[in-house]
Amino acid sequence: MPRPPWDIYHKELMKRDPLGHPMWFPEPCSQFGEVHLGDVGYIIKGEFVFLFNAIERDHPRNIRGVPSDPFDPPPMSEKRQPYSIAPGSELRSFRTNSASLGAEVSSTPTVMSASVGACYEFSTQTGALLRLKEGAHASRLTCEDLMITYMSKHISTWHAFAVGPQVGASIEEDDIVFICGHTKASEWQLAAFHDHSSRGGKLYLHVGVPSLAGGGFHVSFNEEGTATVPSRYGPIPAHSGPDPAPVNHSVFLNYFRMKRKLLFTVPMKAAAGPHQLPPKGDDDSKGLTKVLCDYVFRHSGAELACISERDVVLVQATVPGYSHRPSETSVSMSPQQFEQILSAFRPLIVWNASSGGHQQILLGLTDIMDLTISP
């Protein structure tokens, strides 16, 4: 079965830079709008599904209400980083042998070949690409200790709310994520490819094609544009007018996910019928975080672990010889490969004291940077 493009895109860009979870669908939700700090939800097929905002009870997007437990978010401050990604940036997971801009000369010119905006000669079988014409801006909540304590205290009622009659989602407790950061852009183009036939070739980016909706963005393995590569762009329709385009498309999300060592509670049955249930959370997005949680449980007395994807990336960075930079032989790391790395190098765990009645592991940025490898 072919790998879905959102899975390729997520895993490929994650190994390039630890900027967060790359979103295949970064545009604002038609019902709830753009992603906000403090949002609680889950990720499925490259899209964030909003449940409620856990920082502001009266947030206008909490139209379905909030969980019934005490709504007591700790004081949190926001750190902003304008232009964390510079205008005109291009993030690629694959190394290119060469790249050219502008239309290439074709012996059989077509509308597609005349519209080639860039051509890359790549040497990997799988890759992902993100282009940001106007750059992007990052925001993140500080005080990770407070966020983890807050999440560990309320995760059970958050899950009960998600599967209850207000929402009716079919998800597990460890599908739930708490948004602690995002990187937003006003315009974007993205693509993901897997070429089964070879470990190299050319990738053509077609721009301004009249036959495409909005005259947008098309990616292919050939100059004629017929060997299509999964790609998306936004906003649709394109922004027009004298005012700057709104910066509300979340190209990267940062979040915490929590997992119990032993989950004794049985999830509530959703009120909606089986044919009405929203799909289950995106298992692929939590594969490596789940492996790290299980490693924490085996090597500590913790009952509850709160892990982010940044923790996974930073743990991997402690492994001698491992690099997140694209290389000709790099491949997306599978959960099985990550388990082997943890077993072989046994990174030490920084364990914080219990909080809210639960023992928990705090694997934040500072702690991970202090980890050492025990051979």
- In a structure prediction context, what are the per-residue pLDDT tens digits for the chain, which is 375 residues long? 678 999 989 888 887 767 889 999 999 999 999 999 999 999 999 999 999 999 999 999 999 999 987 788 988 899 999 999 999 998 988 766 555 555 443 434 444 444 556 777 777 778 888 999 899 999 999 888 888 889 988 999 999 999 999 899 999 998 999 999 999 999 999 998 887 666 667 777 776 654 444 346 778 777 666 677 888 988 987 778 888 889 999 999 999 888 877 543 333 222 233 333 334 444 445 677 778 888 887 877 677 777 777 777 777 766 665 554 443 333 356 777 788 878 877 777 655 544 433 344 444 333 333 333 333
Give yes or no for a contact between 150 and 33, defined as CB atoms under 8 angstroms apart.
no
Separation between Cα atoms, residue 83 and residue 185, nearest integer Å? 9
Separation between Cα atoms, residue 162 and residue 173, nearest integer Å? 9
The tokens 């906000």 sit on which residue? 36
Whether residue 212 is contained in a domain is answered as: no
The pLDDT of residue 157 is: 94
> 3-class DSSP state for residue 318?
coil
Whether residue 277 is contained in a domain is answered as: yes
- Supply the angle between the helices 335-345 and 287-298 in degrees, to the nearest 10: 30
Give just the sign of the alpha carbon dihedral 336, 303, 316, 181.
positive
Give yes or no for a contact between 128 and 8, defined as CB atoms under 8 angstroms apart.
yes
Whether residue 300 is contained in a domain is answered as: yes
Whether residue 95 is contained in a domain is answered as: no
- Which H or E run contains 287? helix 287-298
Whether residue 219 is contained in a domain is answered as: no
Whether residue 94 is contained in a domain is answered as: no
> For the chain, how many structural domains are there in total?
1
Whether residue 118 is contained in a domain is answered as: no
Phi-psi map region of 357: left, alpha, beta (phi>0 left; psi -120 to 50 alpha): left
The two three-digit tokens of residue 352, written as one number: 């914080």
Q: Which residues neighbour 37 within 8 Å (Cβ) at sequence distance 6 or greater?
A: 55, 76, 78, 139, 140, 141, 179, 180, 181, 182
Give pTM, 2 decimals: 0.77
The pLDDT of residue 17 is: 66
Q: Which residues neighbour 247 within 8 Å (Cβ) at sequence distance 6 or greater?
A: 136, 137, 184, 185, 186
- 314, 316, 307: which is closest to 260 by C-alpha? 307
Peptide bond into 5 cis (omega under 30): no
> What separation in angstroms does the CA of 259 have from each of 19, 87, 345, 352?
22, 38, 23, 16
Q: Which residues neighbour 365 within 8 Å (Cβ) at sequence distance 6 or greater?
A: 144, 310, 314
> 3-class DSSP state for residue 26?
coil
> 3-class DSSP state for residue 110?
coil
The pLDDT of residue 107 is: 39
Whether residue 295 is contained in a domain is answered as: yes
The pLDDT of residue 267 is: 30
Domain extent, residue 337, equals: 10-87+131-187+246-369
Give yes or no for a contact between 280 and 163, defined as CB atoms under 8 angstroms apart.
no
